[in-house]
Amino acid sequence: MDAKAYYDIGLSYFGLNVEKKDITAAIKNFETSFTLGYKDAAYFLGHIYHYGHGVTKNFQKALDYYLRGYHSKSYKCGFALGILFVSEYNKAEEAYIYLEASFKGLQEEADHGDVVSMHLMGGHYYLGFYAKRDLTLALDYFEKASALGYAESSYMLGFLYDNPEVGIMDSIKAQTYYELSAKHGHAEALYILGVQKLKDNEFKEGYRYLESAASQNHIDAMFMLASYLEVYEKTNTAERLKWLKMAANQGHVEAMFKLGQGYHIGTFGNVDMDEAVSWYEKAAVHRDKNALYNLAMIELAKNDKDIPRLLDLLESAAKLDHPHAQYNLGIMYQRGEYVKENKIKAFELFKRSANLGFAHAQYNLAVMYYKGDGIPMNKEQGRIWPEKASDQGLDIASQWLLKIIEAENK
């Protein structure tokens, strides 16, 4: 077979009239095609690593393939480089150069029936990074490519009709195009349909869609599968653990936190604090406020506390608006525990936590206002805040309100 034949086979496994999507087979054929000199195969190799289709995202690898293809005069790679430089490297000037250099060639390919170039021209007119944005032209190109069986174009049409910001909302058309795209194995379309099916209580069908998306390394689908099992199949912990680890290992931060939490409270069997801390710390690297707070609470429970670490964790979580972290740090400043007493800082932290709806902070804020504890007395605010806490069922706030009423009625 020649280079073009391998390219066409790769495309049939990846996105054009796909009967059974197979990323491994697609990569193998694209690699052979590119080795034999077919320049546009580099576009798909870069695309696969750029967006993490069945592999771990690798922007450097994507960039290398795109550049190799571009220097071999692949207009598709020129477009892809423009998108990569805008979306991942925030380099608009470099992006414009690549988009400008590839535009006319891409347009000519599209006009001569190249389905992938049709799709990319649709992208040009939808995004408007180089060509003036023209939704009518974008839809025309996407519709032509979709009619020829290109899954990515069918997905884009579903997205455009599903997105209120675009201004052409049509739920029936969106559903039709998502289903068409999913039929050819498009991971994001499968994910969207899977979530829809779960919301409609069509659990078996939803799970099937999500599994298909997850098999292509769609990390949100992996996490959604784990979330579904947590709610509807609580005893299936092994399967939930599998999906959480797959998502976490691909960089899904909430999955990292959920793993830490599961090992922390024994959801997956016995409590394993080493595993809990390990996963919490991975999530904390990404500034996950819940992971930071839980690490702080683990540190606080130790007999030999690392006070600087404890305070750093709490302050980091508090800055990210974790209401419990703000409250606990406020308590420390109010009492002078592990820090120098500072009633003003305590008040500020309680107020931030209270504004986020944390009842205990609302109560403490009320007491400080009513008594003038380290701040100017404000009895009106001292009555307002305990009412908010009492409405949430905090008994101590209800009792405080009764005391205030009794005292003022004497």
**Cα R_g (the chain), whole angstroms:** 28
Spans of all domains in the chain:
1-149
The pLDDT of residue 407 is 78
Supply the pTM of this predicted model.
0.88
Burial of 62 (0-12, 13-18, 19+ CB in 10 A): buried
Enumerate the H helices of 15-91 as residue ranges: 23-35, 41-51, 59-71, 75-87
Q: Residue 366 above 70 pLDDT?
A: yes
State whether CATH 1.25.40 applies to domain 1-149: yes
Average pLDDT over residues 232-256: 95
* Cα 89–Cα 99–Cα 40 angle in degrees, nearest 5: 95
Structure tokens at 259: 């793993």
Q: Residue 243 above 90 pLDDT?
A: yes
Conformation bin of residue 304: beta by default, left when phi > 0, alpha when psi is -120 to 50: beta
**What percentage of the chain carries pLDDT values higher than 90?**
89
Q: Chain-wide mean pLDDT for the chain?
A: 95
**What percentage of the chain carries pLDDT values higher than 70?**
100
* pLDDT tens figures, 138-186: 999 999 999 999 999 999 999 999 999 888 999 999 999 999 999 999 9
CA 11/CA 33 separation, integer angstroms: 11
Structure tokens at 248: 């976490």
Average pLDDT over residues 74-78: 97
154 Cβ contact list (under 8 Å, min separation 6)? 146, 177, 178, 180, 181, 184, 186, 189
Question: What SS3 string covers 369-408?
Answer: HHHCCCCCCCHHHHHHHHHHHHHCCCHHHHHHHHHHHHHH
Average pLDDT over residues 92-96: 92
* pLDDT tens figures, 266-287: 999 999 999 999 999 999 999 9
Find where tokens 């419990």 sit.
324
Average pLDDT over residues 332-341: 96
Residue 319: which pLDDT band, with cuts at 50, 70 and 90? Answer: very high
